[in-house]
Amino acid sequence: MRCPTVVATAGILCLAASSLRAGEPERQPSPNAGAIVRVVDSVLAGLTLQEKIGQLVQYSGGWSTGPSGRRISDEQRQIIRAGQTGSLLNVTGAAETHELQRIAVEESRARIPLLFGLDVIHGFKTTFPIPLAEAASWDPDAVELSARVSATEAAASGVHWTFAPMVDIARDPRWGRIAEGSGEDPYLGARMAAARVRGFQGASLRDPASIIACAKHYAGYGGAEGGRDYNTADIPQRTLRDVYLVPFKAALDAGAQTFMASFNEIDGVPSSGSRFLLTTILRDEWKFDGFVVSDWNSIGELIPHGFAANPGEAAERAINAGLDMDMESHCYRDSLESLVRQGRVTIATLDEAVRRVLRVKFRLGLFSDPYHGATPERERQELRNPAHVAAARKMARESIVLMKNAGSLLPLPPNLKSIAVIGPLASNHGDLVGTWAGPTDTNDVVTLLDGIRETAPGAQVTYVQGCSIAGAETTGIASAAAAARQSEVVILAVGESEDMSGEASCRSSLELPGRQKDLVREVCATGKPVVVIFMNGRPLDLSWEQNHVPAILETWFLGHEAGHAIADVLFGAYAPTGRLPVTFPRSVGQVPIYYNHKNTGRPTDDQEHYTSRYLDLPSSPLYPFGFGLTYTSFRYADLRIARETVKAADTLLVTITLTNTGLRAGDETVQLYVRDEVGSVTRPVRELKGFQHVHLDAGGSTVVTLSLPVDALAFTGLDMRHRVEPGMFTVYVGPNAAEGLQGRFQVVPQ
């Protein structure tokens, strides 16, 4: 390829691009900040007004199909050739992206490389568990590896940029996009956000296996009223800063190069037009120097919000607020030139937005290798290679949560002679990949039935669907019950279809859809030992099952290796280690429900009438945040706090003695929570501040030490300053947010 004309003309840091063969990975070290500034300013100086605007416009890839198959449309070629777009989304494949990029760097006047974006949410060709499931692992290292595999495959197919991680805090399981995030807690969400950014971006963006991360949806999207997608989020600024923004800051600190503005409004201002979010916090306070992209048409949607009267006004409000790239609304394309000429948008504002986009492209190395190392050969080598499939199986195992195991029904014995596998999700390929699966082949999915037959070859395995996921028919339920009666044990797979969670897939009910509840009841009525496998993208109401089913596994949507992973847990090849990243309610009537709530002047007491409670059910959740069982049991004892008084700059050490009191080896996730007893504003009843995985053999015991940096106790006080306030704190160490040992310490002034 040739260097961009404007760079070569300026004679600054051409990076010897002409010496690289097409698709050869960049081998030079990343340039320093000064070099980036010089090159970006040089490129910017050579652009026309129309070309600058083009860098801020993103289109979804336009394809047409002719007699010879898929081909690039003439319109798409012309848009690129004319410099009218800086980025394309939904275009994949090394050959396809190579051809479009060639047009950009060889046939356009400015010769600036395109940025190819795609929603790589939980895998590319190799599908991993949905993000909510991965968060149930409480294993940031495993989550980082998952993102790294996804990045490696996507990059090999010409993708430069993923619209992930989604780091929205979600306290309402009716909201469909709870499946895409890490649940309700800002600390766990921050750990997972940082892990995914590290996985996507790697040690260097110039590594051909790295892609750019995009923290979304900024901000407060998970607080949508009524659990209804795109809805208003009524979030006080203090809650915004102390809860909803925490994972975004963690993503930024981990190096995230882009943010995506959300659809919702907060306090009357939609995010795509919020200077407070996009400039005051993101740029001025946090010093973010990447760029912000809109969500799909979210600039255009400022009009139905009632925040702009027309596309021109929407474009003006968005770019002046600090939104750099317009995804598919066409407002920037159609209006920015006239807005600049009218003085409603200054050339300095426009230039700064373009500068941010160019800076990220340069950091990715696209001015040296516009193809970022993607070739058809590398694509064939990377997609679904055995190491990636093995990583997907490991991640799927760790994502499974054992909710109940009465009588130690699990793990199942190896000498079973007959097994009934029942349910609409037992032999299901397409739904197990979950929402926002990549461009994958669902025929490669290992179903639960496949996994059981492979793991228990000596057993007679009878499969009956019983009913559909959402239909009203019941004719198969009798056959399912008959199969159950003729088997030693029943494995029953129920839940949601993949399109029941994710974007625009919100539900007013948390019950099993269709006639699945009838199926569960009839199978349980046979008296046979039953293991219910739940496959879903959100917490469901499992109250009946908790009271009537011997064993319950929450497996979410686990991706390609679902069947293998579940069978590994069922038959004891892997003891479950998952813990809930989100509270499970007893009823949808408790929603929103989350562990780190505030107290009231009349705290909940189900024995006292005039307290904050319900008349018709306990106020406690069915399963608390952090809950999860394994195939052994653990005892917590001897909580010790190293110091009674600490200062904000200190780190407090908290220890407990953990003992495996069961008959099997197992893993425990020891969780540390803190309560600030009195503050200048009210504080949550508990807040997660640390956790540690511990493996113990049967009968084993160890001292577990947890570190608590005192500055992690900071919050936004009455004066809106973020700091640690002196006072008394209660610390809790236990297996979940509802149990544990406790002690106290005091923070004193510096």
In sequence order, what are the residues at sequence separation of 6 or more whose Cβ sits closer than 8 angstroms to the Cβ of residue 130? 121, 122, 179, 180, 434, 435, 436, 501, 537, 556, 557, 559
In sequence order, what are the residues at sequence separation of 6 or more whose Cβ sits closer than 8 angstroms to the Cβ of residue 134? 122, 128, 142, 143, 146, 182, 192, 395, 399
In sequence order, what are the residues at sequence separation of 6 or more whose Cβ sits closer than 8 angstroms to the Cβ of residue 390? none
Region for 611 from its dihedrals, namely left if φ exceeds 0, alpha if ψ lies in -120 to 50, beta otherwise: beta
**Among the options 168, 242, 295, 541, which is catalytic?**
295
Buried-state track 645-666, b at ≥16 Cβ within 10 A, e below 16: ebebebebebebebbbebeebb
Is 234 in the active site?
A: no
Q: If you search the block for the tokens 């929570």, which residue do you land on?
A: 673
Buried-state track 296-316, b at ≥16 Cβ within 10 A, e below 16: bbbbbbbbebebbeebbbbbb
Q: Is 533 helix (H, G, I), strand (E, B) or coil?
A: strand
Identify the DSSP state of 25. Answer: P
**Distance separating alpha carbons of residues 57 and 324, to the nearest angstrom:** 9
Give which of 82, 103, 109 is closest to 91, Cα–Cα.
103
Q: Is 16 helix (H, G, I), strand (E, B) or coil?
A: coil
Residue 234 phi, psi (nearest 5): -100, 90
Kindly calculate the radius of gyration of the chain based on its CA atoms and give it in whole angstroms: 27
**Distance separating alpha carbons of residues 209 and 200, to the nearest angstrom:** 9
How far is CA 693 from each of CA 94, 595, 668, rounded to the nearest angstrom? 40, 21, 6
**Distance separating alpha carbons of residues 383 and 368, to the nearest angstrom:** 25
Residue 401 phi, psi (nearest 5): -115, 125
Residue 251 near residue 201, CB atoms below 8 Å: no
Buried-state track 591-620, b at ≥16 Cβ within 10 A, e below 16: bbbbbbeeeeeeebeeeeeeeebeeeeeeb
Tokens of 596: 């780190």
Q: Give the DSSP H/E element, type plus range, for residue 445.
A: none
- DSSP string covering 171-199: --TTSGGGGGS--S-HHHHHHHHHHHHHH
In sequence order, what are the residues at sequence separation of 6 or more whose Cβ sits closer than 8 angstroms to the Cβ of residue 4? 43, 105, 110, 111, 112, 367
Active site residues: 295
